[in-house]
Structures are given as structure tokens and as C-alpha cells.
Structure 1
Amino acid sequence: MTTFDDREKAFEAQYEHDEQLKFKVNARRNKLLGLWAAGLLGKAGADAEAYAKEVVMADFEKPGDSDVMHKLMSDLAAAGKPMEEHSIRKQSERLSEEAKKQIMSEAR
């Protein structure tokens, strides 16, 4: 095996690790976003956790975040608490940093 082969395997392993980390951070961010929205909807405890799980699962419908944004906007509007997409995205960005911190601290 050559140095080139070793490098290729190292890059592949790093890419796989980075993609797994990105997936975990996105899932955690969506959970945190779901818990935040659940609070706005007046849900607490097990109901809030169940709603957060629904938000996480919504992310698997289509590529990207549009499915999560649509779910949150629809649910908030149905509850009489409409919110603009940019406001939800701003909260999502804030929670993304928190999710990354949580995942990184769990990995230690």
C-alpha cells in the first residue's frame, strides 16, 4: 500500500466522520427547535418531547430545511401564533451552535 492509498483512506474516514457529525448536529438542532416551538405552542413535558420528535422526523421528508420550516410555520399559524420564516431560521441558527456544542461535549 502506498502513501497515496493511506492518504485516500484517511480523507475518506475524515469525510465520513464530518458527515456523521453534521447529521447529528442537524438532528439535535431540529430537536431543540422543536422544543422551542413546543414552548410557543404551550406544550410541556412528554408532549413537548413528542412534538420535537415530529420536527426531527419532518426533516427526512425532503432534502434541506424547507420541510422543517414548513412544519413549524404551519403548526404555529394553526395555533394562532404565526411567525415569519426568517424568524424561525434565525432561531434555528442560534440553536445550531448550541446543538454543535452539545454533540461535541458528548463526544469527549
Structure 2
Amino acid sequence: MTTFDDREKSFEKKFQHDQEIQFKVNARKNKLLGLWAAGLLGKAGADAEAYAKDVVMADFEKPGDSDVIHKLMKDLAAAGKPMEDHSIRKQGERLMEEAKKQVMAEQK
């Protein structure tokens, strides 16, 4: 194998690793967002964890965060606690930093 081939494989592995980390961070952010919303909905313990899992699974419906935001808006409105999408997105941005910290700490 040439040096070029080695470098190419190295870049491919790094890209794959970075994508896996980003996936884990996004899933963790969605879980934290689900736990936050669960608190607003009055859920605790196993109910909150189950709801957070539902939020994570909602992210697989469409690319991007719109499916998660839509689920949270619908659930909060149904519980009499309507919230604008920009407020939920802002909370997601805040939780993204925490998610990054948690995932990176697990990588060490």
C-alpha cells in the first residue's frame, strides 16, 4: 500500500468516527430535551425515561430536528402547556453543549 492509500484510509476512519460521535451527541441532546419536556409534562422516573426515548426515536422520522420539535410542541400543547418552536430549539441548543460533554466523557 502506498502512503496515499494509508492517508486515505486514515481520513475515512476519522470521518466515520466523527460521524458516529455527532450521531451520539445528537441522540443525547434529544434525550436531554425529552427529559426536560417530561419534567414540564409532570413525568418522572421511568415515565420520564420512556418519554425521552420516544423523543429520541421521533428523530428518525425525517432528517433534521423538525420531527422532534413537532412532537414536543404537539405533546406540550396537548398537556395545556403550549410552547413555540423557537423556545424548544433554544433549549435544544443549550442542551447540545451538555450532550457533547457527556458523550466526550464517555469516549475517554
Q: TM-score range by the shorter chain?
A: over 0.9
TM-score by length of 1: 0.99
2:76 aligned residue: 76
Distance 2:63 2:104 in 1: 24
CA deviations on 1:50-76 (whole Å, 9 max, x unpaired) are 000000000001111100000000000
The residue aligned with 2:88 is 88
List aligned pairs for 1:9-28, cutoff 5 A. Answer: 9-28=9-28
Structure 2 unpaired stretches of 5+:
none
The correspondence of residues 1-108 of structure 1 with structure 2, limited to 5 A, is 1-108=1-108
RMSD (Å) for aligned C-alpha atoms: 0.4
Across the two proteins, how many residue pairs are aligned to each other?
A: 108
Cα distance, 1:15 vs. partner? Answer: 0.3
- C-alpha offsets along residues 6-60 of structure 1, whole Å, 9 cap, x if unaligned? 1100100000000000000000000000000000000000000000000000000
**Aligned mates of 1:93, 1:9 — CA distance in 2:** 33
TM score, norm. by length of structure 2: 0.99
Q: Where has structure 1 moved over 3 Å in runs of 4 or more?
A: none
- Counterparts of 1:4 and 1:93, CA distance in 2: 39
| Alpha-carbon distance in structure 1 between the residues aligned to 2:4 and 2:83 | 52
SS of equivalent residue, structure 2 residue 87:
helix
How far apart, CA to CA, are the structure 1 residues paired with 2:9 and 2:107? 22
Give the secondary-structure state (helix, strand or coil) at the position aligned to 2:83.
Answer: coil
